[in-house]
Structure 1
Amino acid sequence: MSTQKALVVLEPKGAFAVQDRDIQEPGAGEVLVELRATALNPVDWKIQAFDFFITEYPAVLGTDGAGVVVKVGAGVTNVAVGDKVLFQGYFDNRRATFQQYAVVASEIVAKIPPNLSFEEASTIPLTLATAALALYSPKPQGIALAAPWEAGNRGKYAGEPIVVIGGSSSVGQQVIQFARLSGFSPIITTASPSNSALLKSLGATHIIDRSAPLSELPAAVQAITSAPVKVAYDAISAPDTQNAAYDVLAPGGKLVIVLAQAVDAGRLTPQKEVVHVFGSVQAPDNRKVGASLYAALPGLLASGEIKPNKVEVLPGGLAGIPAGLEKLRAGVSALKLVARPQENL
């Protein structure tokens, strides 16, 4: 069996190191991808710091990948050797993306159109899943809206408002784009004024300054629209943002969160729902919606209806990822940090 370089966490809450590891073989319905780019996400530094999801050490992390198909397993027909693809990794050493090769089920890979680089494509998978699965998966995984990539559903929610907390975050940007495809209007988001032009280009119609007191959010939304807000997506999901977003909702409304629920108990009412999304198309409960999304994704990317995040490429290949995770932990806005696994090794 051939070997590759991989960045691993040596032990629970331990240090990172670049090691040699075996390259895995794809099974039936799977493909082996030579990774050309992998994006960093907050979950990566959190796993290393707090030790969750992982059952095997040394552990390879990383859930955003783009590269070239180098082997296909039995029964694979949607992609072929040589295809440029993007995919979402998972929390095991076979499927994680902080390495030079990873295995993935072919039904959840998408061909990269010519208008995207590997680096741009690698910013898409996790944030795409976190946005789309929350909005369009059946309950309890999501809030069961009609998926706009399926026939007859484009623009279905025309005239209905949506509020997105943290619009300039990587997830927030994807939520705004899906909201536009679904027809929501107005699309109201909190963000720094410096990111207004970017977010409006993605589909946001109104920007509320993120530095304004959250207690003023319901009034700010009401000043924009008198229509009842039935959907709010909190891409930040701190306790204060969850409470503010919950207060914005009308009876019958649904709040999507990406971290553990922290809405004050005194606020909770049976008239409003809170849904915590697990943003992975790898998860069995999410696979059906994920496969449907990935079948449509090349077209959405080629048309520009779904755009990637802005990219900052890290130096040093896999060895540069730990410093990138520290930078991510300190806070970045409106961009994704990306490493090139084949570089400098």
Structure 2
Amino acid sequence: MSTDHTSLPETFEAWTWTGPGEPEALKRERRSLEAPGDQEVIVATRAIGLNPVDWKFIAMDSALWQPGQIPGVDAAGEVLACGAGVTHVAPGDRIAVHTTLAGPGSFATHLRLPARAVIPLPETIDWATAAAFPCPALTAWQAIEKLPVKPGKRLMITGASGSVGRWLVQLAAERGFRVIAMASTKRHEALRALGAQEVLETPEALSAPVFAVIDTVNGEHARRMTDHLGANGHIVCVQDRLEAAAAPAFGRALSQHEVALGALHQAGSDADWAELRQAGRTLLARVADGELTLPTPEIDDFAHLPQRLSELKHARVRPLKTVITL
């Protein structure tokens, strides 16, 4: 599907990266808006979801970025125009997107995106909820999909009170796992309400080895958690990865998994993308129906984006999710 692009605005505003540093160093600029290429869409941004990967990349000296890069991976908005070959969305559609770290990102009033990454929204999903959805929800879905479904098996989720962790608790519980959520005591009641059958502060409280651990903390933490796996167990790393085998050969025979949404941007097939979009649509429909729960995000204005991202990085505030609206 291609469309007439003459009605597109000539320019847009974006927060841009000038070099490794703090979020406050982002520069607000006006850019020319190009027409979409083949398999691309132009989206008018209505909300932007902030994620830890945003401030992590802003601080890095990455070969993926040059000065002028627009950061950000999550957004929601309205499709304005479609390039040739786009078939699953049309101008006027409401969408959510998790876009590539390597290309122009979501910190902008208008987005030029690969259409394959765009997920249509249910009518009843508001912009803020849609923008808060992609990174945590799709990461959790990818993580749980790494595991064979074995109802009754014990699955421990670390960092369970975070955005990804809360999704994982719900998805694991509905698959029939016995969910063990690890988080601070003040979060235990909320995690039980989401489906956790056991809650604990430290793994030392475990009564027996577990079938699997999904770790949302970091690589070193994940390595320590492998001590609590039984025979033929699984470790799934959401943050970082294990660089070496978690156990000696021919011992417990542990399986190691890493999760990265960016893998699809690098090497995903059309079938891979169709599967991810369908998972997103299904999850969003279940949110709309009240079957799955998202925390209510804190909302601020586009002008305050660098400040809010800095607050998240330095833990000056701890909302489960912050969304920037336009």
Q: Where on the TM-score scale, by shorter chain, does this alignment land: which range?
A: 0.7 to 0.9
Cα deviation, 1:58-86, whole Å, max 9, x if unaligned, reads 11100111111111122322222111110
Aligned pairs for 1:8-23 within 5 A: 8-13=16-21, 15-23=25-33
Equivalent-residue separation in structure 1 for 2:159 and 2:324 (angstroms): 24
Equivalent-residue separation in structure 2 for 1:23 and 1:290 (angstroms): 26
Structure 1 residue ranges without an equivalent (≥5): 137-142, 147-155
> CA distance change for structure 1 residues 33 and 307 in 2, over 3 Å: closer, same or farther?
farther
Cα deviation, 1:176-196, whole Å, max 9, x if unaligned, reads 222133221x11111123323
**Aligned Cα root-mean-square deviation (Å):** 2.5
Equivalent-residue separation in structure 2 for 1:181 and 1:281 (angstroms): 26
Aligned pairs for 1:1-345 within 5 A: 2-13=10-21, 15-52=25-62, 54-94=64-104, 96-136=105-145, 143=146, 145=147, 156-184=149-177, 186-209=178-201, 214=202, 217-218=203-204, 220-222=205-207, 229-237=210-218, 239=220, 241-261=221-241, 268-270=247-249, 271-280=253-262, 282-287=264-269, 288-304=271-287, 305-314=291-300, 316-317=301-302, 319-331=303-315, 333=318, 335-340=320-325, 342=326
Equivalent-residue separation in structure 1 for 2:28 and 2:126 (angstroms): 25
C-alpha displacement at 1:26, in angstroms?
Answer: 2.1
The answer (yes or no) to whether the contact 2:12–2:30 under 8 Å persists in 1 is yes
Equivalent-residue separation in structure 2 for 1:114 and 1:120 (angstroms): 12
Structure 2 residue ranges without an equivalent (≥5): 1-8
The answer (yes or no) to whether the contact 2:211–2:233 under 8 Å persists in 1 is yes
The answer (yes or no) to whether the contact 2:295–2:321 under 8 Å persists in 1 is yes
Cα deviation, 1:62-115, whole Å, max 9, x if unaligned, reads 011111111112232222211111010222443x10001113333332222233
The answer (yes or no) to whether the contact 1:123–1:309 under 8 Å persists in 2 is no
> CA distance change for structure 1 residues 199 and 116 in 2, over 3 Å: closer, same or farther?
farther
Equivalent position of 2:6 in the other structure: none
Equivalent-residue separation in structure 2 for 1:231 and 1:285 (angstroms): 27
Equivalent-residue separation in structure 1 for 2:279 and 2:55 (angstroms): 31
C-alpha displacement at 1:260, in angstroms?
Answer: 3.2
The answer (yes or no) to whether the contact 1:158–1:182 under 8 Å persists in 2 is yes
SS of the residue corresponding to residue 27 of structure 1 reads coil
The answer (yes or no) to whether the contact 2:19–2:61 under 8 Å persists in 1 is no
Q: Which amino acid in the other structure matches residue 122 of structure 1?
A: A
Equivalent-residue separation in structure 2 for 1:303 and 1:175 (angstroms): 15
Equivalent-residue separation in structure 1 for 2:189 and 2:97 (angstroms): 29
> CA distance change for structure 1 residues 178 and 27 in 2, over 3 Å: closer, same or farther?
farther
Equivalent-residue separation in structure 2 for 1:262 and 1:299 (angstroms): 31
SS of the residue corresponding to residue 60 of structure 1 reads coil
SS of the residue corresponding to residue 232 of structure 1 reads strand
SS of the residue corresponding to residue 126 of structure 1 reads helix
Number of residue pairs matched? 308
Equivalent position of 2:4 in the other structure: none
What's the TM-score, normalizing by structure 2?
0.84
C-alpha displacement at 1:232, in angstroms?
Answer: 0.7
Equivalent-residue separation in structure 1 for 2:195 and 2:115 (angstroms): 31
